[in-house]
Amino acid sequence: MERIKLAIERARAQAGAPQAAPAWEPRTIDLPPLPRETMDAVPMDLVRLDPFHLQQHRIVGLDQGNPLRQSFDLLRTQVLQRMQEHGWRTIAVTSPSMASGKTVVSINLAMSIAHHPSKTSLLVDFDLRRPSVATYLGLPVGNSLNEVLAGEVDVGSAIVNAGIPGFQVLATQHRVTGAADVLASDGVSHLIKGLRDASPDRIVVIDLPPVTAVDDVIAVLPRVDCVLVVIGSGSSTTREIEETKRHLARFNVLGVAVNMAPLTMANSGYY
């Protein structure tokens, strides 16, 4: 839990400090056509993502020229190394509070893992009260986790191949009533295990609600190998970080990512 202690110290140091301009601005991206020799490897149902829409939501996984993509690639490398050491293949992403950017980190991390030559990724939106992965990616409305949980479709019918080969998404299109009970159910436990075991190269990234907002995180974490905590610079308070540390003490906290850092911190390697 040393990383969370360091994060608490940073939060205290930043309290009252002037906020610098963000280290990111939308810009035009021209996506080249896929090379002909790779066409056979592209899923036939690959959903093309709108680059400008991704920029507006700070999703940089398709933009090789964006310096923040390098930051997420570094985060990916650190995450995969730690997970490989323990044989872990499922990772949850949460935060102490709302507005920390955990969904942005979840999506960019999953995209970066998909770029890895020996890995694929599946991003699952288990923030059942405020699902936003589909909105951030601009996915079309269709079968989703909602229909899977309702028993209306099989999970394979709800998984979308999104943007790049190796990146799949199981989105939630609308909020789910009784979210904590659903996440604590045997059905969700079997679902997570099935998603993990479907492919030996797959890393399952699970976007969860904030820890201090609801009890959903505590309900589902026993079914997940490890958890990454996203702390929003200037948005997560010391009290919220301390409370998160207490709630997550019995789980495998892989690390802490500081998000929305001022420009000076971003240039020092924080996300």
165-207: pLDDT as tens digits: 999 999 999 999 999 999 999 999 999 999 999 999 999 999 9
215 falls within a domain: yes
In the chain, how many domains are there? Answer: 1
Confidence of residue 146 (pLDDT cuts 50, 70, 90): very high
Q: So what's the pLDDT on residue 40?
A: 39
How far are the Cα atoms of 2, 96, 97, 100 from residue 236, in angstroms, in the given order?
17, 6, 6, 7
| Structure token pair of residue 42 | 């592209």
110 falls within a domain: yes
Q: So what's the pLDDT on residue 100?
A: 79
Confidence of residue 20 (pLDDT cuts 50, 70, 90): very low
Q: Pick left, alpha or beta for residue 178 (phi over 0 → left; psi -120 to 50 → alpha; otherwise beta).
A: left
Tell me if 93 sits within 8 A of 204, measured CB to CB.
no
Q: How many alpha carbons lie under 13 Å from residue 261 in its C-beta half-sphere?
A: 21
Average pLDDT of the residues in 231-259: 88
Which of 59-73, 137-151, 211-225, 244-258 comes out lowest in average pLDDT? 59-73
CA 5 to chain centre: 22
211 falls within a domain: yes
| Structure token pair of residue 242 | 């301390």
Residues 24 and 68: their CA atoms lie apart, in Å, by 8
7 Cβ neighbours under 8 A, 6+ residues apart: 229, 231, 241, 256, 258
69 Cβ neighbours under 8 A, 6+ residues apart: 60, 61, 63, 108, 112
Domain that holds residue 71: 2-17+48-266
Tokens 């009260």 sit at which residue?
129
With H, G, I as helix, E, B as strand and everything else as coil, classify residue 253: strand
Q: So what's the pLDDT on residue 80?
A: 97
31 falls within a domain: no
Tokens 């009290």 sit at which residue?
239
205 falls within a domain: yes
Residues 26 and 204: their CA atoms lie apart, in Å, by 28
Which of 7-21, 112-126, 147-161, 170-184 comes out lowest in average pLDDT? 7-21
256 falls within a domain: yes
Q: Is the pLDDT of residue 102 over 90?
A: yes
Which of 4-8, 229-233, 255-259 comes out lowest in average pLDDT? 4-8
100 falls within a domain: yes
Confidence of residue 7 (pLDDT cuts 50, 70, 90): low
Query: CATH number of the domain that 187 lies in?
Result: 3.40.50.300
27 falls within a domain: no
Confidence of residue 76 (pLDDT cuts 50, 70, 90): very high
CA angle 143, 34, 64 (to 5 degrees): 90
Residues 152 and 192: their CA atoms lie apart, in Å, by 18
